[in-house]
Amino acid sequence: MSIDSALLPALQQRKAAHLYRQRYQLESAAGPEVVVDGKACLGFCSNDYLGLANHPEVVVALQKSAAESGVGSGASHLIYGHSREHHALEEELAAFTGRPRALLFSTGYMANMGTIAALADRGDTVLEDRLNHASLLDGGLLSRADFQRYRDNRDLEKRLSKIHSGRKLVVTDGVFSMDGNLADVPALATTCQQHDAWLMVDDAHGFGVLGQNGGGCAEHFGLSPEQLPILVGTLGKGFGTFGAFVAGSEALIETLIQFARPYIFTTALPPAVAAATRTSLRLLQTENWRREKLQQLITRFRSGAQQLGLQLVHSQTPIQPVLLNDDALTVQVGQQLREKGILVGAIRPPTVPKGTGRLRITLSAEHNEQQVDRLLQNLDEILNTSSSRAQRGDPGT
């Protein structure tokens, strides 16, 4: 059997189930207004929550550093790819998070997989929230440790009480990427301390958004390094650049340098990206108006959506899912919004549980009230039309 003959049935099955994924070509800089596949669109699907990805100062920092140090780093951190820009950013991230040290990774996926595998092995146990990001789940599955998924803090307590040997690593998202709600990190921290377990939080969607200074879940909840010893963040969301980091103790970071394979065997991210991130880190902390405006837009969207009778998730973050609970309808509404020049994420299984299809709407500090109102108006028109068709038995286009 040829490779195409073996692979095509699964692709056709996915299309028939309304689960097929498709790429679109971005032809402009990131921002609220973008050009995709030649069409001007209003975007509500970016993770650039603070609008720093195209900030003039961040762009200039990237260009200046690239002119001085080139584009690529040339090697992994442990060969000769660890530049002064990388080192300075790590020191600044450590200070920002209130941890002794921080370590850069090339992607968030690598940071999560590398950290879990470096800390847990055969004879240990990794326990993860069932709604965790794929990178965390894959890290647990590939770590060779006993891997368990818990429903909530009470379920976690029961599971931890039955483990009497080996290391116990509890892993959760800080902000769940498909729901936008926060994990109960203080309760998890207490449970971990009571059961001699280590808590690891991937705060990819919390940094920049939560906390008075944008410090994420740790700042939002006031958690110390002892309560939250393993803190992970990505730089491609609130920071507006690229890459990831892990912050923690001296022993933790040295352990990752020695044993985290995705760190050891990967080319370091470009020094110019690190330089740009240093600028975005400064802006993230000093331009508090970005967080304030973002919260105003979140409130406006939720109020308008509730008036329209849309089903929302309890989220006070820029991630605002509208639950449709129908895969075909989710695809249809996403397509109709694109036709009207509005981009949102049409999320279906396996990214979310079966029967929980949704429009994943994300807001940015660069949006304005008129753009939010336009989104709500189009959602109302499209969903009312879809509802009418469903009552007539007409599937639409």
Looking at residue 354, its pLDDT comes to 85
Looking at residue 389, its pLDDT comes to 43
Give the domain-ending residue among 237, 253, 286.
Answer: 286
Looking at residue 394, its pLDDT comes to 43
Q: Which domain holds residue 239?
A: 56-286
Give yes or no: residues 175 and 311 share one domain. no
| CATH number of the domain enclosing 193 | 3.40.640.10
Give yes or no: residues 164 and 267 share one domain. yes
| CATH number of the domain enclosing 310 | 3.90.1150.10
Give the domain-ending residue among 230, 257, 286.
Answer: 286
Q: What is the pLDDT along the chain (397 residues), one digit of tens a residue?
A: 999 999 999 999 999 988 888 898 999 998 899 999 999 999 999 999 999 999 999 999 999 999 999 999 999 999 999 999 999 999 999 999 999 999 999 999 999 999 999 999 999 999 999 999 999 999 999 999 999 999 999 999 999 999 999 999 999 999 999 999 999 999 999 999 999 999 999 999 999 999 999 999 999 999 999 999 999 999 999 999 999 999 999 999 999 999 999 999 999 999 999 999 999 999 999 999 999 999 999 999 999 999 999 999 999 999 999 999 998 899 999 999 999 999 999 999 888 988 899 999 999 999 999 999 999 999 999 998 865 444 323 444 3
Flag whether the pTM goes above 0.85: yes
Looking at residue 294, its pLDDT comes to 97
Q: Is 375 helix (H, G, I), strand (E, B) or coil?
A: helix
Looking at residue 395, its pLDDT comes to 40
Give the domain-ending residue among 246, 267, 286.
Answer: 286
Q: Are strands 358-362 and 345-347 parallel, antiparallel or unpaired?
A: antiparallel
- For residue 282, being part of any structural domain is answered with yes
Listed as own residue / partner, the contacts of 382-387 with beta carbons closer than 8 Å and 24 or more positions apart are 382/333, 382/336, 382/337, 382/340, 383/308, 383/310, 383/333, 386/329, 386/332, 386/333, 386/336
Give yes or no: residues 136 and 184 share one domain. yes
Looking at residue 390, its pLDDT comes to 41
Q: What is the torsional sign of CA 201, 207, 209, 215?
A: positive
Give yes or no: residues 222 and 164 share one domain. yes
Give yes or no: residues 377 and 273 share one domain. no
- For residue 9, being part of any structural domain is answered with no
Q: What are phi and psi of 168, to 5 degrees?
A: -125, 115
Give yes or no: residues 28 and 103 share one domain. no
Looking at residue 217, its pLDDT comes to 97
